[in-house]
Structures are given as C-alpha cells and as structure tokens.
Amino acid sequence: MSRIRIELLSDLCTGSGYSFGGIIDGDICFDELGIPYIPARRIKGCMRESLENILYAKYADKKISDRLFGIRGRNIAEGAIRIGNAYVQNYFVLKDYLARNSGKLGVDQQSVLDRYTHVVGQTAMKDGVADNMTLRYTRVINEFDPCTNEPLVFEAQISYDEVDEQIVEDILKSTRHLGMKRNRGMGNVRCCLEKNVQSSENTEKTIEEFIVGDKTRLSFVMENKEPLVLSGEAESETNDYISGKMLIGMLASKYLKAGGDAESEEFKNLFLDGSTIYSNMYPYKNGKTYYPAPDYVNVLKKTKKYVYVVDAKLPVFNDNDQSEYNYNQGNQPKKLKGKYVSLCENEIDVLEMKRDVVFHHRHEKAGNEEMLYSLTCIAPGQKFLGTIDVNEKYIPKIKELLRGECYFGKSRSAQYGLCELSGEKQDHDTDNGICVGKGGYLVVTFKTDAVIVLDTGRYSVYYDEIRKCIASELGIEYEDESDPKYISSIQTKVITGYMSKWNLRNEPIPGIKAGSYLVYKLTSDFKGSASMVGVRNMEGYGRVDFMDAEACRYDCIIESKKDDEGKKIEAANEYIRNLIAPVFVDEWVASIIGSAIDNKEFERISNAAIGRWKLMLMESLDMHDDPKASFEEFKNRIGSIKTEDTRKQGERLYKRVERIFNINDRKISDSASDCANKLRLLGIDEEEIVNILRSRWPEYVYAVLTNRKYMGGNRK
C-alpha cells in the first residue's frame, strides 16, 4: 500500500462549502467527531493542476493527464489513479476511541474541532479603510499538531499502476499549495509519496460460510471507509444500500483486472449465467440487518408508538380515550418512509442512514466552464451485510476478490466509494420458516425490490397480475374476498442502472418497491421460508419472506431496548490524552477565571500596579520552566515591592493562586475535583494530574490582571 504524506507549512483551509450559524462564512471539512480532513477531490485537483502547469515541459502530452485523472465532467474513462481522503496521523485510532467514549467523557464535536482549528477574519479595503459589509470569517486548520507541536501531517491512501510511480512522485513533489487563500499565506504544504506502507488497522477479515440447499452461502460485512454515492433515481441523490448488481460489477471488475478471462467457464458461472446469487447489501449494526420498512409498519404521529396497519379496519378508539395507541385527534399512523427496520418476533429496531451533502467545484480551462454542484452521499463509517450463494469450488476465488479494497458507486477515483471487509462477528437471524393453516391469512413481504415477468414475457406492476403471479410461484392457494379482512399494499418504482462504458443509463423497467406486501386468505395449509420471486434474482431482486397476519395485531410491536454500553471508559494513549485533556482543563480554568473577574477585591489597584505585576509574572516565567519554581519567583518579586498597599494586594493575589492551584501541596482543590475525575478517566495518574492543573496558574493570573486593567477599578 502507498500513501500521500502532506505536511502543513502554514495554516490550511480546504473549504467545505458550508457556513456555520451565521458566525463563520467559510468552513473547513471535518467529520462527525470534529476531526478535520482534506477531501480527496481537492488533492486530486491540485495534483492535476501541478501536472498540467508546473510539469508541462516534462510531461507535455495532455493524454497523460486524462489517463491518470480521467476526463473532466465525464464518467466514460475512470482515471488510473485512486486517491482517498487525507486524515491526520493516528486518525483511525483517535476516531475509534472518540466514537466509543466521547459521550461518556462529555467531549463534543466543537471541543475537538477547536483543538485543531482557529477562526481568522478579513475585510476588503477601499480608499485605505475597511469597506462596508465585507468582513468575513473563515475557519482554518492550524499549522501545528495540538498534541505534539510539530507540523500537522495528513495521510491519504493512493493506488496507481506501477509504471506511473515516477510521475506520481514528481506530481506530489511539485504540489505545494492546497485549499483556499493560497495567495494570502495559507495552504503551503510539502507532499511526498510513501511506498510499501503497512496498514495499522486491524487486518482480520471475517467471511462466514454455511450451507443453503446445494450451494454454500458466504456472508460478510463491509464498512465504507469513504462516502458512498450509489446511483439513485435522481442524478445527485444516492441509494441507502449497495445493490447486488453493484456487488457483481465490483467483483467482476476485480476479477478481470487480476488477469481473469472473460470467456472462461469460471467467469460465466460466477457473473453471467445466474448460478451464483448475490444479495443486496443492507445496513448492518449491532448484530442486526436492517431492511426497508414494510408498508404495514407505521408510527403514530404524536405518541411515536409503532403499530401494525394490516387490518382493513383499525380498532375503535373513543376521542376521549387517553391510550397512547389512540389514533384520533391528529395521532394518525404514518409510514416509515426512507427508514430501515430490523423486525423479529414483533420486536422492532429502526435505523435511518446517515447522509452528508458534499459540495464540489468543477472547472474546465479550455472551455472556461465552471460549475458548483453538490452530491448527497452516505456518510463514512457505516456497515452493510451481504451474502453470495456460490458453488463450493468457487469459494476461494470469491474470498480472494472480497478481500482488499472494494469500490462502489460513482466518483470512485477520489474521495468516494472505498469499502473494506469488517472483522465484526455476525449474528444471523435463524429462519425456521412459517406454517399457516387453511383459512388463515398469509402476509408476503417484499424485502427487496422485485421485477415480475408474466408468462407472456411482459413486465407487470398491476395488482391483480402480481397477486396471481406471486401465488403461482410460491405455491399459495387462496381465495379472493369480497370484503377483505386485511389489506395489501403494492408500491412501484422504476428500475434502471448505469452503463459507464457508454455513459448512458440502462433501459428503465417497472418494478415492485421493497416494503410492499400481499395478504392471502389460504384455502390450504402453507409452509415456507424466505424465498425469491420474479427475475434477476442473482442481482438481489425478488427476495420475500412471510408472516402470519393474525400475529400482526395493531398494538403488538415492541421497541427494542437500547444496549447499555456501561460506564467504563477505556484508557487513552498518549496522543489522545494530549488532545482531550486540555478540553477539560480549559473548562475548569475558564470557570475559575469567570468567578475571579466577578470579584471586586482588586478594584482599588491602579493600572500602574497591575502593569508591574504582569511584568513580574512574565519575568518569573522566563526564568523557570517548572510551574512551582516560577510561582516562587513571582511570589518573591511581589514581596519585594516597597509600597505597602500594593505589596499586600499582591500577597492577597498569590495566596489565592496558591489555594486554588495547590502550588505547595500534592492534593487537588475542591474546585478542580470534577476536572481531575475526567482526567483520571483518560488514564492519567495523580501526579500528572496535579502537574497539569498546577501548570495553568500563570494563565489565571494574567487573565485576572488584564480584566482588572481594562474593566474596572482605579484608573490612575
């Protein structure tokens, strides 16, 4: 594996296109935990600019640029170089720790962000003075790492053909600016290529096997390391799951790139003739797979209770009935549009996928075209479970293809699409099938989209035709009721795709939308388990399962209990302690400073005396690095003042500092007890806690004196 190393030589602003609450006009890119990153598209654009401008004399052929980075604005030819987002060093360790512990510690996104960034302002000048209405504030990434005080370093994965290694090195060496305001002192960087780097992440990958009929089912969980843009009905929108068709395309592409033969029997059996079945990859979390919410699962608008709406007539409630399931007075049931559910034995867990909106700027120099556009994408760090039913002899080949980097969706050459197998242990739901007797009611639920073809060869989405076709395929014997006890629901969608080879969409065909369902009154006993109907099953279409309608009572859904994560906090490594500990200490120092400046005790002191004390403070700090020694020096200098009133006021000041910070004692003051408890949770020992707290006394003194000078007291 190779990676790009980006060392900051100045502050950096890689704009996200967002503003912040009317306070910050231009914001940077950062994740949900507050850790900044550099989007791969920005890196790719600057690398391309370096190749076409700085390296033009050495690599004059424009075809090199198009081959490496792709053709601007077109998806026909994907570039040979793939670039990932650039993250700070230790990012994945830091992210993993904060994701598990930040809520328990009380560390929010803004606290982490403030450690890496600051805000700068600028205004336009007119006739030598600031022009009206031109003041703008921009958040920028600090040049130096907040934990090491060394230049901040970002790292990004990059893959390329071996023959292009030298040109990639040259491009990175010549790329010296990134982001906004490059002509105003920002964005200076030093880039280099690091080859054959060992990944520090957990390399254990889990692919489970179990027998299903005459095939072996391979089950696996993938996590998207980068955002995903999965082609949806709208050009700028994304689906929330990875389709079986995308899974086939990804594996077939890897097969051919590894030297596989498209004419071989193996290729045909794996990807063409339907003998290998690929499922859609749906969201997976905490051992549960989440499918599109069935139409019969609703939520009451006001009380937020989940209910089954299968009955043709809902139970009767009086208007004055105070039951939380009463749907009168505006508490009507609503479908769970766009949500995913895990539903097992009437216990429900609801999941809504995390999405981001990302802004991009595209420009074409030759045609002078510019475009600002946005993409809705699946946020990184989410997991998807998929299965592949395959002949036993092809298991090693499928496992080989699944391991390593897997790219899905659009814009895969930079910033988007990277997924990798997760080492998470899977907890599969056991499907023991269902038995519904004669005279009972069977619910057939479409867990995925379905494509139904009639005997005449025509696609159909008409209710009566679908009802008969599904019953025929599944062997359901039923009767139609003139006054049905239960209702069915069929929703339709247009099923299409995208052929990158021709840069065109596939022919759209009508299909049944996942979550639709049919209810049959049986005229004979039915026994069955999860099945497939319709066509294109190898692409993940047409999966159905069964329920007994009599078990779907209006008010019998139970919401799953959230797992209790416990109160234990994991000890942090040195880098994480150095990042988070100052957040707690800053809060404590701010609180005691706020208390001190409300105290009127020093109002009689003249500004001249306060200026003298500040000078003594700075001289004491210059003479000693140790907080205790510098305090003793400050104390002695105060004691040398000949003016009695000034000296006594100074003594009152340093005695207060001595009491709050316990300069001459190893115990922690009451005011710092909460802060000390949080530091202990990080794994910091008592002696280090005392030293950390004691080292902040000069900041307290300086703030109190500055406030007294400018805000109150004797102004002689």
Q: pLDDT value at position 602? A: 63
Three-class HEC string of 363-409: EECCCCEEEEEEEEEECCCCEEEEEEEECHHHHHHHHHHHCCCEECC
Roughly how many angstroms between the first and final C-alpha of the chain, as a whole number? 68
Query: Hey, what amino acid is at 458?
Result: R
CA distance 372 to 361: 5
Give the number of other CB atoms < 10 A from CB of residue 509: 15
Three-class HEC string of 469-512: HHHHHHCCCEECCCCCCECCECCEEEECCEECCCCEECCCEEEE
Least confident among 355-369, 481-495, 671-685, 690-704: 355-369
Report residue 349 as tokens. Answer: 């867990």
CA distance 625 to 654: 18
The average pLDDT across 262-278 equals 94
User: Which run of H or E residues covers position 351?
Assistant: strand 347-351
Least confident among 1-5, 154-158, 188-192: 1-5
| 193 touches 4 (CB < 8 A) | yes
**β-strands 86-88, 153-159: how paired?**
antiparallel
Kindly tell me if the per-residue pLDDT of 600 is higher than 70: no
Kindly tell me if the per-residue pLDDT of 366 is higher than 70: no
Q: pLDDT value at position 57? A: 81
Report residue 443 as tokens. Answer: 């619910």
Degrees to nearest 5, angle at CA 37 with 34 and 39: 135
CA distance 576 to 93: 9
Q: pLDDT value at position 127? A: 82
Q: pLDDT value at position 118? A: 93
The average pLDDT across 105-110 equals 89
Q: pLDDT value at position 655? A: 87
Most confident of 445-454, 613-622, 631-640: 445-454
How many residues are present in the chain?
716
Higher pLDDT, 8 or 645: 8
CA distance 34 to 11: 17
Kindly tell me if the per-residue pLDDT of 437 is higher than 80: yes
- The fraction of the chain above a pLDDT of 70, given in percent, is 91
CA distance 361 to 42: 9
CA distance 579 to 97: 12
Least confident among 59-63, 456-460, 629-633: 59-63
Give the number of other CB atoms < 10 A from CB of residue 661: 27
Q: What is the DSSP letter of 242?
A: B
Q: pLDDT tens digits, residue range 334-353?
A: 999 889 999 988 899 999 89
264 pairs with which residues across the strands? none
Kindly tell me if the per-residue pLDDT of 83 is higher than 90: yes
Least confident among 29-33, 95-99, 130-134, 250-254: 130-134
CA distance 387 to 432: 18
Q: Is the dihedral of CA 134, 139, 142, 148 positive or negative?
A: positive
For 5-16, b/e burial (b = at least 16 CB within 10 A) is bbebebbbbbbb
Q: pLDDT tens digits, residue range 108-132?
A: 899 999 999 999 888 888 888 888 8
CA distance 619 to 675: 29
Q: pLDDT value at position 716? A: 41
Q: pLDDT value at position 528? A: 87
**38: confidence class by pLDDT, cuts 50, 70, 90:** very high
Degrees to nearest 5, angle at CA 697 with 693 and 701: 150
Q: Is the dihedral of CA 176, 179, 183, 184 positive or negative?
A: negative
Cβ burial, residue 108 (10 Å; 0-12/13-18/19+):
middle
Q: pLDDT value at position 189? A: 95
User: Which run of H or E residues covers position 620?
Assistant: helix 607-623
Nearest Cα neighbor of 429 from 334, 347, 335 is 347
**β-strands 153-159, 82-83: how paired?**
antiparallel
The average pLDDT across 646-660 equals 86
| 661 touches 700 (CB < 8 A) | yes
Report residue 502 as tokens. Answer: 């021709």
Higher pLDDT, 276 or 64: 276
**594: confidence class by pLDDT, cuts 50, 70, 90:** confident
**201: confidence class by pLDDT, cuts 50, 70, 90:** low
Kindly tell me if the per-residue pLDDT of 203 is higher than 90: no
Most confident of 63-72, 201-210, 563-572: 63-72
The average pLDDT across 179-184 equals 84
The average pLDDT across 134-160 equals 92
Kindly tell me if the per-residue pLDDT of 199 is higher than 80: no
Q: pLDDT value at position 302? A: 92
Kindly tell me if the per-residue pLDDT of 75 is higher than 60: no
Q: pLDDT value at position 78? A: 73
Q: pLDDT value at position 430? A: 57
Percent of residues in the chain assigned helix, strand, coil, to nearest 5: 30, 25, 45
Q: pLDDT value at position 411? A: 83
Q: pLDDT tens digits, residue range 604-629?
A: 677 888 888 889 999 999 988 888 89
CA distance readout (Å), 476 to 16, 294, 299, 458: 55, 21, 30, 22
Kindly tell me if the per-residue pLDDT of 715 is higher than 60: no
Query: What 3-state DSSP class applies to 283?
Result: strand
- The fraction of the chain above a pLDDT of 90, given in percent, is 48
The average pLDDT across 365-373 equals 63
The average pLDDT across 289-316 equals 94
Taking all residues of the chain, what is their mean pLDDT, rounded to a whole number?
87
Kindly tell me if the per-residue pLDDT of 560 is higher than 90: no
**100: confidence class by pLDDT, cuts 50, 70, 90:** confident
Q: pLDDT value at position 714? A: 47
Kindly tell me if the per-residue pLDDT of 233 is higher than 90: no
Q: pLDDT value at position 263? A: 93
User: Which run of H or E residues covers position 559?
Assistant: strand 558-559
**β-strands 558-559, 347-351: how paired?**
parallel
The average pLDDT across 290-303 equals 94
Least confident among 47-61, 181-195, 324-338, 532-546: 47-61
